[in-house]
Structure 1
């Protein structure tokens, strides 16, 4: 009788341990899912509505689309490496770039970015921001600068893998500074919009003034859309 009781208690303890471990795994999974999705949902609820009415604003259904496709997009892709600038606008042709200098710096005080390196015609977004198209800042036209973003939990303004993650927090009137050949040019943000990845209007050149355009992926941690921040040169 004692042996039977011992086996029965052992089975009960085993079932209890299994239930406890299962519960812990479920909570861990939900925690990871919440940790990944919360900054994306926050972006859609807080930042995205500010851009409504601008260039091809993000649709109201984006939250549903994001929840349905976030995980495979967040996980590293073997097909498309978005740390390479050349894959951002594969359909773009006749890209015009300045010959010199090949590097200058960019500062955005609002998001604690100071003297970030910008490589003209570069490709590796893990090592610097990339001047993808247009003339140098300060010249008439529209220099287009690409920068990587990731989940806000990983944001570091000195890390090029996450440097543009807080661009959505910029507002009209905030400043962007570019230092080229020892001259600092200050631009004021006048337009912010969210566009689809195949929208080549981002590369549009306007020669009536000196502009600057910053581009990154949104929501942070995904490649679903592009945030476009445009600035106009202030008088020196």
Structure 2
């Protein structure tokens, strides 16, 4: 006659389940906070100090409000504007809506942009175009490459870990990595290339239209994107002067 015996099924103690769930919840919350706040804090710690005259580009109140918004889903309009906006900034016309570009005659409608330090090679810049998700945009009121004045180029950015130099939605995310002396190369459709050397980097407010001004003592290039990358708080303006190859 076979013998049988009963073995009680063991179950995970309820307290242990709650402990694991709590730990997962905490780590999930920290991950969300890190994802939201890191671009701002990293920008202040590692990039902002190199911009002359810039002590604190992002006010502490906005940082704290952005964190509150990440945790509680609250916060005022300034904090919400850090990562979200009703304005579609993939459209170039929304960058400076109060300024209408002058109608200038261009010998070509597009050209290529290369920034060796950022692994950007032959990125397309279209004169007077609109969609920043498909190309860089040459502001139609600015000089063309190689001429006196400044060729102004808008480029989109996003959080640094999504950077892809071939994706126009993130192409200027690493622009803060540039320093004085770095090269920017513009190549026209006639295969003539112009090398510019970075000589100035500054951060301005989104409504500062002085960055669109033209000065005609030399040939310049001006690159503009939003900073901290992934936000719409400020604008990084990188200026280079024409140099010989």
Which TM-score bucket, shorter chain as reference?
A: 0.7 to 0.9
Report the secondary structure of 1:45's partner residue. Answer: helix
Matched position secondary structure for 2:149:
coil
Pairing of 1:9-28 with structure 2 (within 5 A): 13-28=13-28
The alignment status of 1:168 with 2:176, answered yes or no, reads yes
RMSD over aligned Cα, in angstroms?
2.2
TM-score, normalising length: structure 2 = 0.83
**Which residue in the other structure is 1:117 paired with?**
124
Cα 1:123–1:97 change in 2 (3 A) is: farther
CA distance in 2, matches of 1:58, 1:196: 14
Aligned position for 1:69: 66
Cα displacement (A) at 1:207:
1.1
Higher share in helix: 1
Per the TM alignment, residue 76 of structure 1 is displaced from its structure 2 partner at its CA by 4.4
The answer as to 2:140 corresponding to 1:142 is no
Evaluate the alpha carbon distance shift between residue 103 and residue 60 of structure 1 in structure 2; reply closer, same or farther with a 3 A threshold: closer
Cross-structure match for 2:214:
205
In the other structure, the counterpart of 1:156 is: 164
Structure 1 SS opposite 2:195? strand
* C-alpha distance 25-85 of structure 1, shift in aligned 2 (>3 A): same
**What is aligned with 2:75?**
none
Q: Could you tell which deviates more after superposition, 30-39 or 172-181? A: 30-39
| Matched residues, number | 224
Query: CA 1:189 to 1:75, structure 2 compared with 1: closer, same or farther past 3 Å?
Result: closer
- How do residues 51-62 of structure 1 correspond to structure 2 at under 5 angstroms? 51-53=51-53, 57=54, 59=56, 62=59
Instruction: Note closer, same or farther for the CA distance 1:49–1:195 as it changes in structure 2 (3 Å cut).
Output: same
Moved beyond 4 Å, runs of 4+: none
**Could you say if the C-alpha distance between residues 39 and 59 of structure 1 is closer, same or farther in structure 2, counting changes exceeding 3 Å?**
closer
* Alpha-carbon distance in 2 for matches of 1:26, 1:138: 55
Q: 3-state SS of the aligned residue for 1:143? A: strand
Larger displacement relative to structure 2 (16-25 or 137-146):
16-25
Greater relative contact order (Cα < 8 A, sep 6+):
1
The residue matched to 2:150 in structure 1 has which SS? coil
**Preserved CA contact (<8 Å) 2:185 2:196:** yes
Check the 8 A contact 1:98/1:134 in 2, yes or no: no
Residue matched to 1:3:
none
For the Cα contact (< 8 Å) 2:106–2:144, is it kept in 1?
A: no
Where do 5+ consecutive residues of structure 2 fail to align?
1-7, 71-79
* 2:187 corresponding residue in structure 1: 179
Equivalent residue for 2:201, pick from 192, 202, 209: 192
Asked if 1:128 is matched to 2:125, the reply is no
SS in 2 for 1:119: strand
SS at match of 2:124: strand
* Cα drift, residue 67 of structure 1: 4.2
**Paired position in structure 2 for 1:42:** 42
